[in-house]
Amino acid sequence: MSHPLFSPFTLRRQTLDNRIVIAPMCMYSATDGKVGDWHTMHLGTLAQSGAGLLIIEATAVAPEGRITPYCPGLWDDACADAWAPVLAAVRHYSTMPLAIQLAHAGRKASCEAPWRGGRQLPPEAGGWPTLAPSALAFNDGDTPPTALDTAGLARLRTAFADAARRADALGIDIIEIHAAHGYLLHEFLSPLSNLRQDNYGGSLENRLRFPLEVFDAVRAVWPAEKALGLRVSADDWVAGGWDIEQTLALARALKARGADFLHVSSGGLSAAQSIPVAPGYQLPFARRVKAETGLTTIAVGLITEPHQADAVIADGDADLVALARGILWNPRWPWHAAAALGATVDAPPQLWRGAPHAASGVFGR
């Protein structure tokens, strides 16, 4: 019996045991960009899930690029030093490959944690000035960001590259650059947030320029044997905004530069978005990217059931399936998916006795 969801998949030198990816999920639990015990517990739990790949949450390449004051960073060696024991603890008990999402929040930075309302923080409450392609605020009442000048663009290209070097030194296996959900690189892509009149705004070619420069800067320092890709929003869900046709143009440009995958999400750029949320609602975007460009795709978005995820792979809609909220709710989702599909999954022997009699062969021992 074939189980496409539990078949291996290779990204450059890294072969994943199965097609299940744990998507990056913000924890808002770092201190001054430095991770600690929460991340050891959180990532340690996910690393025992049996998934094929674990992507660490959005990690800022510059202090002002944090979504909140509590987001992790990789902008200096102190941040990297904080990551080292966390990753060492995770690796001590798991062989699951680890990726990291490198990010800059742009105009959506300097916000409170979601469970405290998520609104932009003023300086007196611990906030900071934000940066973006154009001086357009995300929400009414937010302080408009400062439009990046030539020096600012150069600094951020270097910041992404330097963070990639630190990720390599930490032994990270794969990098995903965050260009989705209304954060900085997505802001450059979308004509709704990018009103520049220079070589970085206006035409599609110009709006692609800075995200592609960032990709090139990271690829230049990231080891050739390690995979590199992007998370993108395939559609702003707003008339006149970024859409799937422009996403396809980006995907082709990335493939020509040696990108290994596109993680296909949508939305997040505008409060005016209208999203027809339903199970698998983003799958058509991933399907088109895969079919029309040949680039490896990761599908995400209300893919919650094992047979549903297996069908995504079997039908060729995407190469990999990512779970986010669903795996927070059920950190053993891959175990249960393997049991439902009659497949096997890797798990530490200390936990084997947890399998019910009906799933006694799920751990492949």
Give residue 27's identity as a one-letter amino acid code.
M
* Strand partners of residue 291: none
230: enclosing H helix or E strand: strand 228-233
Determine the 3-state secondary structure of 179 from DSSP: strand
Question: Is 183 noted as a catalytic residue in this protein?
Answer: yes
DSSP states of 272-303: T------TTTTHHHHHHHHHHH---EEE-SS-
- The number of beta carbons lying within 10 Å of the beta carbon of residue 356 is 8
CA–CA dist 187, 130 (Å, integer) = 13
What region, left, alpha or beta, does residue 294 occupy, with left being phi > 0 and alpha being psi -120 to 50 degrees? left
CA–CA dist 216, 219 (Å, integer) = 5
State the greatest distance between any 2 C-alpha atoms of the chain, in Å, as a whole number.
Answer: 65
Q: Exactly one of 93, 183, 200, 281 is catalytic; name it.
A: 183
Q: What is the DSSP letter of 122?
A: P
Query: Rounded to 10 degrees, what is the CA torsion of 194, 200, 203, 207?
Result: -60
Are 238 and 186 a contacting pair, CB within 8 Å? no
**Residue 128: C-alpha distances to residues 15, 143, 203 (Å):** 41, 10, 31
Query: Rounded to 10 degrees, what is the CA torsion of 55, 58, 62, 63?
Result: -130
Q: Token pair for residue 336?
A: 């249960």
Give residue 193's identity as a one-letter amino acid code.
S
Are 53 and 99 a contacting pair, CB within 8 Å? yes
State the residue for tokens 């209304």.
Answer: 182
CA–CA dist 284, 2 (Å, integer) = 24
| Active site positions, annotated | 183
